[in-house]
């Protein structure tokens, strides 16, 4: 069973997003970004209450800006999703979860060493240039489910 419900359109959108955000970090980096997207759709806590679909997560606006830089800058729309990108997105949507993004709800590239917390959330690890952060214990049960 899939981690979240999705359509073919969701797979393509998520694949484009993963490519726009992490293509330079290879397939594993793209999978980690995709995992954060799925985690946000499952979380139903903190900044991600009532986000249930992939488009809701990707087009979420917080503080007057889109949550993801690739949407803010339009990078997500520059390229079509390639078949490999779609396969990676489907892996995330169906089952894939790995450290350091396994329970992460946030990631960013600080262009410096990763800080131990980001907006009060603990650092879980780094993959290439991206730092990953998961919610504090007991603040977001949904992210830890399947």
Give the pLDDT score at 13: 97
Summarised one tens digit per residue, pLDDT across range 84-98 is: 999 999 999 999 999
Give the pLDDT score at 57: 98
Short-list 52, 31, 53, CA closest to 97: 31
58: pLDDT strictly greater than 90:
yes
pLDDT (average), residues 63-69: 94
Share the mean pLDDT of the chain: 95
Cβ pair 115, 145 in contact under 8 A: no
pLDDT (average), residues 110-134: 96
Q: Given pLDDT bands bounded at 50, 70 and 90, which one contains residue 30?
A: very high
Q: Quick one: CATH architecture of 8-144?
A: Orthogonal Bundle (1.10)
146: pLDDT strictly greater than 80:
no
Stated pTM of the model? 0.96
Percentage of residues of the chain with pLDDT beyond 70? 100
Task: Give the span between the Cα atoms of 17 and 58, in whole angstroms.
Answer: 8
Short-list 111, 87, 106, 101, CA closest to 14: 87
133: pLDDT strictly greater than 90:
yes
Block residue for tokens 């946000």: 40
Structure tokens at 115: 């800080």
Percentage of residues of the chain with pLDDT beyond 90? 91
Summarised one tens digit per residue, pLDDT across range 5-28 is: 999 999 999 999 999 999 999 999
Block residue for tokens 């992939």: 54
């Amino acid at each position: 069973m899939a981690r979240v419900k999705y359509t073919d359109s969701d797979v393509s959108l998520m694949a484009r997003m993963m490519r726009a955000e992490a293509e330079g970090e290879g397939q594993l980096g793209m999978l980690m970004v995709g995992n954060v997207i799925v985690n946000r759709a499952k979380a139903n806590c903190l900044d991600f209450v009532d986000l249930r679909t992939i488009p809701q997560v990707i087009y979420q606006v917080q503080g007057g800006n889109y949550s993801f830089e690739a949407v803010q800058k339009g990078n997500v729309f520059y390229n079509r999703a390639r078949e490999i990108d779609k396969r990676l997105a489907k892996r995330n949507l169906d089952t894939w979860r790995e450290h350091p993004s396994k329970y992460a709800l946030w990631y960013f590239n600080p262009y410096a060493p990763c800080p131990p917390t980001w907006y009060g959330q603990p650092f879980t690890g780094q993959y290439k240039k991206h730092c990953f952060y998961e919610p504090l214990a007991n603040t977001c049960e949904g992210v830890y489910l399947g």
